[in-house]
Amino acid sequence: MILFLSNFLHIPYNMYDINIWLTPERRMYMKNTKLFKLLAVVVAVIMVVGVMAGCSKATEADKGETTATSDSSDTIYRSLDEIKESGSIKIGVFSDKNPFGYVDENGEYQGYDVYFARRIAEDLGVDVEFVSTEAANRVESLQTGKVDIILANFTVTEERAQQVDFALPYMNVALGVVSPSDKVITDLSQIGADDAVIVISGTTAEIYLEENNPEITLKKYDTYSDAKTAFENGQGVAWANDNTEVIAYAKTVDGYTVGIPKLGSDDTIAPAVTKGNESLLNWINEKIKSLADEQFFHKDYEETLVDTYGKDYEEELVVEGGVIA
């Protein structure tokens, strides 16, 4: 190969020799390579900036275009008819968030979100293709049309609602506080000045308590298991986390009670589609409303969540027909 190329391009046999760099013409050439280096750097910078600018422009263009040409078939998302025609729907779910979306020991997707996803595909009359998604990728996946729907414990926030279209909610989330059963904390005012509350760094619980109750001392841990160990060793009087998490914890470990099952603003979890995909969005909304007749999400809860949370929290967590109680 080398031989072939070198013949073809008339390369001198001594091209690999460093000595040829020392002839006068080579020295001129070396000066030139400095220029090239500079040129290369400049070009690279321009390219990077160009790609970045292109990306942000495309986002803006997307937003404008999708509203203008929502009926044309060259949109990034697939409309309801296109999904039906193709015979399969791509739904982004978590594959490692038991019990909402996880993979069981036989390799099958399971969980509260997955149960609903299967029903959507069934009623659309198409096959379901699950895409294992990461929390940070959910918005991006929708915006680039990699999935048709995201059903991955997706909490509705104002910021996200500007980037994707949320359908009606199907679940409630709030913060919760768990404490030892013999010293149950039912109100944050019971926490004294010397007491500490355990939180996991970066969670909504940490952000909420720092903003709204700055007088409470927080002990922060990086992982779930560190926080758990610290709490069980009495490092704090209570542990604040998503209410689903603390409820599940109190249910599996004896001697602990969820004194505050709801703290802070009520958030909801809803399916999301690509911004502008109205045909699919309307279909999902209608579906969620009509599923209330058969109490679908209560059935979903009993199939998937009851082992983790027990019957007591069913009404608290489930949203039926998109109506928040």
Partner 1 sequence: MQALVTDLGFDVLFRGTNFTRLLGGMWVTLEISLISVALSIILGILLGVVMTLKNPVTKAICRVYLEIVRIMPQLVLLFIVYYGSARLIGLKFEPEFAAVIVFTFWGTAEMGDLVRGALQSIPIHQYESAYALGMNRSQTYFSIVIPQTIRRLLPLSINLVTRMIKTTPLIVMIEVVEATKVARQIIDANRVASPNAAFGLFFVIFVLYFAVCWPISLLASHLEKKWSN
Positions in the binding site for partner 1 (CB under 8 A): 1-3, 5-7, 9, 11, 13-19, 29, 32-33, 36-37, 39-41, 43-44, 47-48, 51, 54-55, 58-59, 62, 74, 76, 92, 95-98, 102-107, 131-134, 137, 140-141, 143-146, 225, 228, 248, 252, 308
Contact yes or no for 153/101 (Cβ under 8 A): yes
> To the nearest whole angstrom, how small is the minimum distance from the Cβ of residue 301 to partner 1?
18
Burial of 220 (0-12, 13-18, 19+ CB in 10 A): middle
Nearer to partner 1, 29 or 266 (CB): 29
Q: Where do we find the tokens 């090239």?
A: 36
CB 143 within 8 A of CB 275: yes
Q: Which is nearer to partner 1, 14 or 189 (CB)?
A: 14
Residue closer to partner 1, measured from CB, 13 or 311 = 13
- Compute the least distance from the CB of residue 310 to partner 1, in Å: 13
Q: Which is nearer to partner 1, 36 or 87 (CB)?
A: 36
Give alpha helix (H) positions in 176-242. Answer: 204-212, 224-232
3-state class of 93 per DSSP? strand
Name the one residue in this structure whose structure tokens are 């999935």. Answer: 147
Min dist CB 2 to partner 1, Å, is 6
Q: At what angle do helices 112-124 and 278-291 cross, to 10 degrees?
A: 110
Residue type, 41: V
Which of residues 131 and 292 has its CB atom nearest to partner 1 in the complex? 131
Tell me how far, at minimum, the Cβ of 66 lies from partner 1, in Å.
12
CA 317/CA 301 separation, integer angstroms: 9
Looking at the Cβ atoms of 55 and 325, the one nearer to partner 1 is: 55
Q: How far is the CB of 102 from partner 1 (least distance, A)?
A: 5
Residue closer to partner 1 by CB (options 98, 285) is 98
Q: What is the closest distance, in whole angstroms, from the C-beta atom of residue 184 to partner 1 in the complex?
A: 23
Tokens of 121: 């595909």
CB of 200 to partner 1, least distance (A): 14
> With helix as H, strand as E and coil as C, how does 131-179 read?
EECCHHHHHHHHHCCCCCEECCCCECCHHHHCCEEECCCCEEEEEEEEE
Whose Cβ is closer to partner 1: residue 31's or residue 311's? 31
By 3-state DSSP, what share of the chain in percent is helix, strand and coil, each rounded to 5?
A: 50, 20, 30
Q: 155 — phi, psi (to 5°)?
A: -75, 135
Quote the strand ranges of the chain, DSSP E.
Answer: 88-93, 96-97, 101-103, 109-110, 127-132, 149-150, 164-166, 171-180, 196-200, 217-221, 238-242, 256-269, 272-274
Q: Is 267 helix (H, G, I), strand (E, B) or coil?
A: strand
Q: Closest CB to partner 1 among 76 and 196?
A: 76
Rounded to 5 degrees, φ, ψ at 75 are -75, 160
Q: Considering the complex, what minimum distance in angstroms separates the CB of residue 190 from partner 1?
A: 29
Q: Measured between alpha carbons, how far is 50 from 42 in angstroms, rounded to an integer?
A: 12
Least Cβ distance, residue 192 to partner 1 (angstroms): 31
